[in-house]
Amino acid sequence: MKIGLVLSGGAVRGATHIGVLKALKEFGIEINILSGVSAGSIIAVFYAAGYSPKEMEDILLKTDIKKYLKLKFPKQAFFSLEKLDILLERYIGRIDLSELKIKTYITVIDYTIGEVKYIDKGDLIQYIKASCSLPVVFEPTYIDGKPYIDGGIMDNLPIEPLIKEKCELKICSEVNPFPEFSPNPNIFKLAVRSLFLAIRSNTENNKKYCDIFLQPPQLVEIGLFSIKDLKKAIDIGYNYTKKFLEENLKK
């Protein structure tokens, strides 16, 4: 059976995907096609490069994430992802996406024409950076002179590549349960909620194509940029997926 896995964006919550992969592996579910966006694209390429979920967890928890975020004078954005090159080159190398052990698609947006692209060939590091370039927070990533941004803005559950590849089982890991509205929100909370509204719209449209849809509700407890909760996110992903598989694989 050809099995595909979609890994959504979600900043720190993207660590949840490591727990999901750990549970899938324990149940003997081997992934043939990966489709990732934003934080999910990073997890996807590490797994496709041959790292086990345990190795990925160890790398993530020992890495000083803040070291790879370069603060900028906010002309286009507050941070640059240029230092992400160092991390990706260290663990994966400067390779083409097509060289990964598992076929992987990375979702980006061509900022000039506002079009979603599902990339499976090209400079891995550049396209990962592009997929993580959330507007305002991070500056756009330029590839061949064209600006690209976070694909999650228009497609945060990129299932189209799995449909194109004719996957017989499509598993979707989504890490952004819609939060309750908090009274008297500050400007940051308003901005985050507006982002969730945009993400929810495109996610709901794609959700109907998923054979298995995983979205742990406990993730509302974890802020998008709460680096201290990386381990918690991994554990939530693992426990939720394990329970889901225990309850549904027997049926």
Q: What DSSP string runs through 138-190?
A: EPPEEETTEEEEEGGGT-SS--HHHHHTT-SEEEEE---PPPPPPSS--HHHH
Residue 67 belongs to a domain: yes
Residue 250 belongs to a domain: no
CATH code, domain carrying 120: 3.40.1090.10
Residue 251 belongs to a domain: no
Reported as a single tens digit per residue, the pLDDT across 146-182 is 999 999 999 999 999 999 999 999 999 999 987 666 6
Residue 153 belongs to a domain: yes
Question: Closest Cα partner for 234 from 246, 248, 219, 224?
Answer: 219
Structural domain boundaries enclosing 150: 3-245
pLDDT grade, residue 77 (50/70/90)? very low
Residue-averaged pLDDT of the chain: 90
Instruction: Assess contact for 42 and 14: CB atoms under 8 A.
Output: yes
What gap in Å lies between CA 231 and CA 56, rounded to an integer? 12
- Indicate the range of 43-47, 54-58, 219-223 predicted with least confidence: 219-223
| Range 173-196 average pLDDT | 75
| Range 191-211 average pLDDT | 83
Reported as a single tens digit per residue, the pLDDT across 106-155 is 999 999 999 999 999 999 999 999 999 988 778 899 999 999 999 999 99
Q: Is pLDDT of 243 > 80?
A: yes
Q: Give the pTM.
A: 0.92
Q: How many domains is the chain partitioned into structurally? A: 1
Helix, strand, coil proportions of the chain in percent (round to 5)? 45, 20, 35
Taken as a whole, the chain contains a residue count of: 251
- In sequence order, which residues have a C-beta less than 8 Å from that of residue 134 and are 6 or more positions away? 11, 38, 149, 150, 152, 153
Residue 223 belongs to a domain: yes
